[in-house]
Amino acid sequence: MAAPLNLHDDRLFPAEPSVRGIARALYGEVRDLPILSPHGHTDPEWFATDAPFSNAAELLLQPDHYLYRMLYSQGVSLQALGVPAHGAPSEVEPREAWRLLAANMHLFRGTPSAMWMDHVFAEVFGFTQRLAPDTADDYFDRIGDALATDAYRPRALFERFNIELLATTEGPHEDLVHHRALRDSGWAGRVVTAYRPDAVIDVEDERFGPAMEAFAGLTGQDVHDWKGYLQAHRIRRAAFARLGATSTDHGHPTAATADLSSAEAEALFRRVIKGGASPAEAELFRAQMLTEMARMSLDDGLVMQIHPGSFRNHNRLLFEGFGRDKGADIPTPTDYVRALRPLLNRFGDDPRLSVIVFTLDETAYSRELAPLAGHYPCLKLGPAWWFHDSPEGMRRFREQTTETAGFYNTVGFNDDTRAFLSIPARHDVARRVDCAFLARLVAEHRLSIDDAREVAVDLAYNLPKRAYKL
Amino acid sequence: MAAPLNLHDDRLFPAEPSVRGIARALYGEVRDLPILSPHGHTDPEWFATDAPFSNAAELLLQPDHYLYRMLYSQGVSLQALGVPAHGAPSEVEPREAWRLLAANMHLFRGTPSAMWMDHVFAEVFGFTQRLAPDTADDYFDRIGDALATDAYRPRALFERFNIELLATTEGPHEDLVHHRALRDSGWAGRVVTAYRPDAVIDVEDERFGPAMEAFAGLTGQDVHDWKGYLQAHRIRRAAFARLGATSTDHGHPTAATADLSSAEAEALFRRVIKGGASPAEAELFRAQMLTEMARMSLDDGLVMQIHPGSFRNHNRLLFEGFGRDKGADIPTPTDYVRALRPLLNRFGDDPRLSVIVFTLDETAYSRELAPLAGHYPCLKLGPAWWFHDSPEGMRRFREQTTETAGFYNTVGFNDDTRAFLSIPARHDVARRVDCAFLARLVAEHRLSIDDAREVAVDLAYNLPKRAYKL
Amino acid sequence: MAAPLNLHDDRLFPAEPSVRGIARALYGEVRDLPILSPHGHTDPEWFATDAPFSNAAELLLQPDHYLYRMLYSQGVSLQALGVPAHGAPSEVEPREAWRLLAANMHLFRGTPSAMWMDHVFAEVFGFTQRLAPDTADDYFDRIGDALATDAYRPRALFERFNIELLATTEGPHEDLVHHRALRDSGWAGRVVTAYRPDAVIDVEDERFGPAMEAFAGLTGQDVHDWKGYLQAHRIRRAAFARLGATSTDHGHPTAATADLSSAEAEALFRRVIKGGASPAEAELFRAQMLTEMARMSLDDGLVMQIHPGSFRNHNRLLFEGFGRDKGADIPTPTDYVRALRPLLNRFGDDPRLSVIVFTLDETAYSRELAPLAGHYPCLKLGPAWWFHDSPEGMRRFREQTTETAGFYNTVGFNDDTRAFLSIPARHDVARRVDCAFLARLVAEHRLSIDDAREVAVDLAYNLPKRAYKL
């Protein structure tokens, strides 16, 4: 029989009573602050159309690679889970897919996915028993019923979640139709875009050709000419900014930057644009483009985010059968010290520039990222990311960066999610873990309680607001 | 004067009373479960002949490189400790060697060796004072006396230790005489072998030439022909399986795998087999053979273990003077993401295959191994290994793998030891550390107590049983 | 208004009452032990002349790159802070620089700098309110007044700090005038030098040319001849030893060592000395010189320290504007296993040699350094260094090295500082963190309280005394 579902008030706080008491007090200062979500992957169409969500499997399971990758690792096929192949809708009965999740909930013990799901089930839908084989159908039915009501439409949930700002991510080749519709809709919710130009920068990306065509079409520029190409970026950055964007985002395989002369850059562009670039040329072009983006940021004020170090589409068969972003991206060792130096030596001392760096390689926290961010005026550290967006991951981030970079070279939390309903859960975990960390410092007399209160609020609200210029 | 020797009931549990209480309760569920030891290096001859062990130094000190490497690091010579050089018996008086250990016990403060020794001394031999210069002779005498009795013969200890299964490790060039004797002896204890073909795969291994000769002799195959070589592996794998083996084991310098065409593989084999292979060819051949082993595992069902990343025989003088496995192997940074991809892209999605991966490079836990094991159906994570088979090492393993791979992509504990008497001590440490980890999750309301109970039993018993097909 | 400034008696001890009690008891054994500071960067002129220090900014802020790098990272210019450019005195009003520090104290929350400053303010100067904008002037005035008194002269503070020995660091090209003056002064305080030959070994160092000239001048050797060059080292090592040096120190970019034949070494020397050496030749020469230094240590008994892995002068603009050592050195991944092998295979088994290794790459602790130090007789591990000289950094050091290398292959604490007034604060942090670590082992029944007491005293006093032959 399914076990009771309770979210304990003290979850994620240290067990020691005096530390727990401090954590509880600090959390009391931040639990009800509005949510700032300056980096994520929700679909702007949801908020533009405000159409109801469909069913539990399609909303909560099939888009969430955290969930289906774990099931896949234990021999459950993506077909059976109804994960769409190359975007084509699955023919699997959603209720059957949902039952497979319910039958395998034990796999998530000790993972953040378990905490996020329980939070959504309890707080958003009001369940009091855990998801299990014997509650799977009841879950599926009640979630389906709820989603059909007005209170569970995207905008209503956005307001209920107390989200002050939500950023989505689009490419320069996308026309932002939903963001324009949102702007024109009169709805007060702030949903903005962010400029993610990977598809028109990375010539090794399978989307490069069509993306460049659309890029040309949207800007009227000759994007196969270096000056036209740069101008097209400027045009789209401005268009994104008009729809609320305050940041760009760059998901390169490495953190490499370059600082070529403009003649060298143009020559390189010509080589890579005509096709057949070597891996080294493709890498150098990505590297140079980060520096070009920094240069443009000095003009238009957009904050740069660099998200390097993921080996994309590691599983060849899965990529061929299902396409990208199916839970088969794997982190790799990532250098920052040599990689970022060309960009930093060009613009790193200019406090008008703001570059937020993320990592999937935790060894860089204390060795490279905290020392760099604790020195260069332009650099800030993004929060623990992706596989490390978890209680232990966040704790390691604070333990390994704070002593060298302090709190004020970090930027608060990003949820980075496409799972809209889990946004409050994820911010709640981050706030609790930060308060737990601060509580330990207070209990060990390394930080005063008054300072800790201020830091807690800064981490939850003021730092993201300032870092992302919201 | 020697201090009292007590094994505290709460050792290794967190000090905070509520967490300790939970840990104690969880440990109560697993403390008396039988021991499954599916990977280790004890000598099958002990159990085949059941001859009594000799004396304290020869049983507990001279085969244990954890102990003599620490003494050596502080200037004690291996000669004085009676460590055999190239297998030749030492002429040092065992009692003198034992006294040297007793005089240096302070070096082990804070190490797992100290806990294992105390466990053996207290639980196996009943000592109530610690080993120290003034108790050294009493220890030596009483251990010697005990070993002469029937109760301390190998089989009696095996039964007393409640071992359900113990695997040793042999090469395809070894004739398994003791395992055959064991099978024929009628003794109920399950001691099985495991297939470790390094000596006939690694052309850089000093044992390669003679091992290949024995390999040919035992199989009747032309092992210098590619097809004969592969067939010889199939023959020996089947022979190992008949003597209880359920797994193979591969201790390569790196985790590199390759997926050559069969023509390429054959051509490579011809180059390396004739001698004078370049390091790159030797490496590529090892890499290809992991994929060949995986292919055979799909046929015969043997579970693969990969133990990469040790720089063997780092100390040249010591290697020349004493031979291999003398405590001078040193871990190196180890890549898994690119290294395992050829094998994974060939067979990684087939849930019939089972590959258990270990590491000496803890940075791979959260960055590479947990993300890989949390995705590929064939991959599971072996426990914290060798230098990391320790309370802090095990804690890091759980903290850094659980949130991404969960508990169910891990395989419970391996003791990996040649120190037979310490097997119960090692499993006890692992059970306690896992219970301590689970207790923290429960105390922080990240896992229910009922789930934790189930996980504790799975980690101690069910997962190794399933993963190793016992 | 400024908050009260209190140093809590239990700071840095774990909050759990039973563990805290043990930590407090252990700390009671070591809190009043004399300070041994065998590695640091204070100015010997202070103690030779015993001239009064000038003012708060010049003493506490402008030489401390931990402080101004953090302010710089948040957009405060080094000019405004009065940091001297290329050694030229700043024209900034010291009081104004001090106010900038006071206005930005929140940046240091959670950092060791905050703890060190509070310790200095409270213990050395007796402040009872924290440094803040409204106390900045009072701080500046009262510190200035104190420094003008005899009680705050360098020698008086040295005695008040209970320093038994303090080592500074000089190069072979420096004439040790202050150390000679100290020796001749009759003052009882032990301030010794250490031999740091980087400037005459690293042909890529901007100081190489002039340093070689001075090296020749001080030794009367032809330092452009290989035999003369080596002889010059021997001469200066002997001169340093006569002024109390017991150690050498080597701050190379990597830990590479080499073991060339003497003909190869001489040929390499000729190539690099004539200018225009390739980076690989410069690196090989540094590598070979570590082995040469080890060879000389076997003769003269000086202990070797190797401090590798810092990317020096990462910020090009800052280096051009202000010079070296301005907070812009960044750690890099550092290999030890292959790098140290040539030296270790030559001299590593000789217990007369003592090599103390440091790292800025914490991933090496459990993977490489503890396994190496737990085996080779000559190797010891230096304490957590530079960015890792912090409570969390020290905790990670103990957690990741103790189980493999024990406590007795480590050498106690080094403060490594040029901030003289913070020396007691830094040693106090180290003693507290070590006692906290030991207390956890005791509370978890992994170490007896009697053993822990002995280890605490060894770490604070006996190990540095023995390792540095003081």
| Chain B CB contacts of A14 below 8 Å | 444
| Residue ranges of C 16-75 with Cβ closer than 8 A to chain A | 16, 69-70, 72-75
| Residue A400 in tokens | 């390994």
**pLDDT tens-digit series, residues C379-418:** 999 999 999 999 999 999 999 999 999 999 999 999 999 9
Close Cβ partners of C437 (under 8 Å, ≥ 6 residues apart): C394, C395, C398, C399
8 Å CB contact of B109 and C376: no
8 Å CB contact of A332 and B16: no
What pTM was estimated for this model as a whole? 0.98
8 Å CB contact of A106 and B367: no
Residue C406: its pLDDT value, please? 98
Q: Which residue of C has its CA nearest to A18?
A: C15
User: How close does chain C come to B7, measured CA to CA in Å?
Assistant: 8
Q: Output phi, psi for B165, to 5 deg.
A: -155, 135
ipTM confidence: 0.97
Q: Output phi, psi for A189, to 5 deg.
A: -60, 135
Taking residues A372-395, what's their average pLDDT? 98
8 Å CB contact of B330 and C371: yes
CB pairs under 8 A between B and C: 126
| Residue B80 in tokens | 């004085």
**Separation of CA C389 from chain center:** 10
E-state strands within B355-456: 355-357, 379-381
8 Å CB contact of A445 and C361: no
Residue with tokens 């034949």: C261
Percent of chain C at pLDDT exceeding 90: 97
Close Cβ partners of A315 (under 8 Å, ≥ 6 residues apart): A326, A328, B344, B345, B348, B349, B375, B376
* Residue B2 scores a pLDDT above 90: no
8 Å CB contact of A403 and C110: yes
**pLDDT tens-digit series, residues C232-242:** 999 999 999 99
Q: Which residue of C has its CA nearest to A467?
A: C74
Residue B11: its pLDDT value, please? 98
User: How close does chain B come to C281, measured CA to CA in Å?
Assistant: 24
8 Å CB contact of A400 and C390: no
User: How close does chain A come to B240, measured CA to CA in Å?
Assistant: 28
Q: Would you say domain B53-152 falls under CATH 3.50.50.100?
A: no
8 Å CB contact of A376 and C318: no
For the domain with range C17-50+154-467, which CATH number is right: 3.40.50.700, 3.40.225.10, 3.30.420.40, 3.20.20.140?
3.20.20.140
Q: Which residue of C has its CA nearest to B118?
A: C446
**pLDDT tens-digit series, residues C12-60:** 999 999 999 999 999 999 999 999 999 999 999 999 999 999 999 999 9
Taking residues A73-82, what's their average pLDDT? 97
Nearest CA to C381 among C459, C292, C461, C290? C459
Q: Which residue of A has its CA nearest to B353?
A: A75
Distance CA B223, CA A382 (A): 56
Q: Output phi, psi for A265, to 5 deg.
A: -65, -45
Residue B70's pLDDT band (boundaries 50, 70, 90)? very high
Given B335, B403, B451, which is nearest A393 (Cβ)? B403
User: How close does chain A come to C40, measured CA to CA in Å?
Assistant: 20
| Chain B CB contacts of C406 below 8 Å | 70, 107-111
| CB-based contact, C428 to chain A, within 8 Å | no
User: How close does chain A come to B13, measured CA to CA in Å?
Assistant: 14
What fold characterizes domain C52-152? uronate isomerase, domain 2, chain A (1.10.2020)
8 Å CB contact between A144 and A56 = yes
Taking residues A316-330, what's their average pLDDT? 95
| Residue ranges of B 447-466 with Cβ closer than 8 A to chain A | 447-448, 450-451, 454-455
* Residue B1 scores a pLDDT above 80: no
**pLDDT tens-digit series, residues C347-369:** 999 989 999 999 999 999 999 99
Q: Which CATH class is domain B17-52+158-467?
A: alpha beta
| CB-based contact, A426 to chain B, within 8 Å | no
Q: Which residue of C has its CA nearest to B393?
A: C400
| CB-based contact, A363 to chain C, within 8 Å | yes
Q: Would you say domain A17-51+154-467 falls under CATH 3.20.20.80?
A: no
Residue C146's pLDDT band (boundaries 50, 70, 90)? very high
- Bridge pairing between strands C35-37 and C163-167: parallel
Residue C89: its pLDDT value, please? 84
Q: Which residue of B has its CA nearest to A12?
A: B444
| Chain A CB contacts of C333 below 8 Å | 335, 363, 367
What residue ranges do the domains of chain A occupy?
A: 17-51+154-467, 54-152
Percent of chain B at pLDDT exceeding 90: 97
The Cα angle at residue B406 between residues B403 and B412, in degrees rounded to 5: 125
Residue C282's pLDDT band (boundaries 50, 70, 90)? very high
Residue among C18, C77, C314 with most chain A CBs within 10 A, to mutate: C314
Residue C94: its pLDDT value, please? 97
Taking residues A449-464, what's their average pLDDT? 98
Taking residues A283-301, what's their average pLDDT? 98
Q: Which CATH class is domain A54-152?
A: mainly alpha
Q: Which residue of C has its CA nearest to A15?
A: C16
* Residue A425 scores a pLDDT above 90: yes
User: Are B17-52+158-467 and B53-152 equal in CATH topology?
Assistant: no
Residue A351: its pLDDT value, please? 87
Residue type present at position A31: R
| Residue B358 in tokens | 């270990």
Given B110, B327, B332, which is nearest C403 (Cβ)? B110
* Residue A60 scores a pLDDT above 80: yes
User: How close does chain A come to B397, measured CA to CA in Å?
Assistant: 12
| CB-based contact, C321 to chain A, within 8 Å | no
Mean pLDDT, chain A, integer: 97
User: How close does chain C come to B242, measured CA to CA in Å?
Assistant: 38
CB pairs under 8 A between A and B: 126
Residue C258: its pLDDT value, please? 98
Residue B468: its pLDDT value, please? 98
8 Å CB contact between A70 and A111 = yes
Residue B351: its pLDDT value, please? 87
Residue C420: its pLDDT value, please? 97
8 Å CB contact between C197 and C172 = yes
Distance CA B117, CA C446 (A): 12
**pLDDT tens-digit series, residues C167-212:** 999 999 999 999 999 999 999 999 999 999 999 999 999 999 999 9
Close Cβ partners of C319 (under 8 Å, ≥ 6 residues apart): C313, C326, C328
Percent of chain A at pLDDT exceeding 70: 100
Nearest CA to A421 among A9, A196, A182, A143? A143
Q: Which residue of C has its CA nearest to B361?
A: C367
Chains that touch A (3 or more CB pairs under 8 A): B, C
| CB-based contact, B137 to chain C, within 8 Å | no
| CB-based contact, B406 to chain A, within 8 Å | yes
8 Å CB contact between B368 and B381 = no
Distance CA A337, CA A339 (A): 6
Given B110, B333, B387, which is nearest C446 (Cβ)? B110
Residue A88: its pLDDT value, please? 86
| CB-based contact, B1 to chain C, within 8 Å | no
User: How close does chain C come to B228, measured CA to CA in Å?
Assistant: 37
Taking residues B22-26, what's their average pLDDT? 98
* Residue B250 scores a pLDDT above 90: yes
8 Å CB contact of A399 and C392: yes
8 Å CB contact of B311 and C338: yes
Dihedral sign, CA of C289, C292, C294, C297? Answer: negative
The number of CA neighbours under 13 Å toward the Cβ of A383 is 31
* Residue C217 scores a pLDDT above 90: yes
Residue among C334, C375, C448, C450 with most chain B CBs within 10 A, to mutate: C375
* Residue A1 scores a pLDDT above 80: no
Nearest CA to B302 among B258, B345, B241, B382? B241
